[in-house]
Amino acid sequence: MSNVGIVIVSHSPLVAEGTADMVRQMVGDEVPLAWCGGDPDGGLGTSVEAILAAIDRAWSEAGVAMLVDLGGAETNSEMAVEMLPEGRSGKVVVCNAPIVEGAVVAATEASGGASLQEVRRTAEELSAL
């Protein structure tokens, strides 16, 4: 059985890469992980195409949990999910959680074999604190 994948989407490629590095150091390679950040011109922003590519890289039949930093990242991530084929779109969720803490706890939960819903719930509990 495969573990839930994690995608990190930030307006800053450095924030996305740094968050992914923290996740890797905490959970190793047990969780499919991808990140993307920045606009196509190298500035701050997000790209639907880059988000779709990150979903592909982190794809797992168990699903993919996405952690995003700001409103534009959330909007573009939701657009990317809507563009996925029918069999995949229902297996990708955008978590309402802080990007760094959310990614670390989501990946930790995923590494233990938790379901997509459990991974999402654990990440989103951080927002309630």
Cβ atoms of 25 and 42 within 8 Å: the answer is: no
Retrieve residue 93's tokens. Answer: 């969720």
Coil, helix or strand for 55?
helix
From the candidates 7, 11, 20, 52, give the one annotated as an active-site residue: 11
Is 71 a residue of the active site? no
Catalytic residues: 11
